[in-house]
Amino acid sequence: MNDFILNIQDKTWLMVILCSVAGYLAGSISFARLINFILKDTTHIDSWAEPVPHSDEKFESDLVSATLVAKRLGARYGCLTSLLDMAKVALPTLLVMLAFKEQPWFLLTSFFGVLRHNFPVWYHFVGGRGESPILGSLIVINWYGLLLMNLAGIVLGFITGSVLVVRWSGYILLIFWFWFHFHNIWYVVFMIGVNLLFWLSMRNDLKKYLDLKNNKGLSFSEEDVSGFIMMGKGLGRALDKYSIYALIKKALKHH
């Protein structure tokens, strides 16, 4: 086995193909559809369509993800789906990392795992957001960087008063952390790539959210947003009351 690894790890194009295909095949497993099939005997999951707080509007999303499973089948099945989605990309990423130590080939495995998860060919490119496989990969690649940047995201969220900043800014911050920590352009390219996959998969949801706020004139508290995206209303309530943005807004209002 060691001889095989030594023979192929210097063959660049062969390594690119092997590591990319490994990630792509691992990412092709749709655990959301599999769990739904086990419980309901069908791979079809109804789209997410829920009333928007304080309005007659509905928010619809065609993403098939752990969040959708949680909303359709319950929180425990959503958590199970998320863990399986994390593992399906994290495990092959870890195996490639351990087997081929000369170059970060495992970044390709992770990237193509997320790519296939988000845009599955057999399901008309309708997949998930990629959060679970991204998190699984990052735990393997640099778990403490993930932790630090998410903590930084929480701080930024309490400065800006935004639950969406709390949840998602860590992915963007990791681009800069990877450059600082690894001093290797391929880590930066990887993090930019998974960010693009994530935000591309979110484009329709973000467009609808902005349409509701800007064109329909709806106003949401952070408590509303936090509850809607299943982060618990307590976090949003804290941001509404104690974020720097909220405190400055209250101070200016009193003046």
In SS3 terms, 147-164 reads as HHHHHHHHHHHHHHCCHH
Per the prediction, the chain carries an average pLDDT of: 88
Bin 230: left if φ > 0, else alpha if -120 < ψ < 50, else beta.
left
Place of tokens 């979110």: 202
Whole-angstrom distance, CA of residue 255 vs CA of residue 253: 5
Question: How high is the pLDDT of residue 212?
Answer: 77
Hey, what are 13's tokens?
A: 């194009």
Under 8 Å CB-to-CB from 102, ≥6 apart: which residues? 9, 10
Whole-angstrom distance, CA of residue 33 vs CA of residue 20: 23
Structural contact between residues 88 and 29, judged by C-beta atoms closer than 8 angstroms: yes
**103-132, pLDDT tens digit by residue?**
899 999 999 999 999 998 887 788 889 999
Question: How high is the pLDDT of residue 209?
Answer: 79
> The pTM is what?
0.89
Question: In 3D, which of 127, 103, 100, 101 has the Cα closest to residue 114?
Answer: 127
Question: How high is the pLDDT of residue 211?
Answer: 80
Question: How many CB atoms are located within 10 Å of the residue 239 CB?
Answer: 25
Place of tokens 């060691």: 2
- Is the pLDDT at 217 greater than 70? The verdict is no
What range does the domain containing 181 cover? 2-254
**Is 76 in a helix, a strand, or coil?**
helix
Question: How high is the pLDDT of residue 215?
Answer: 65
Question: How high is the pLDDT of residue 8?
Answer: 63
**Is 230 in a helix, a strand, or coil?**
coil
Under 8 Å CB-to-CB from 1, ≥6 apart: which residues? none
- How many structural domains are present in the chain? 1
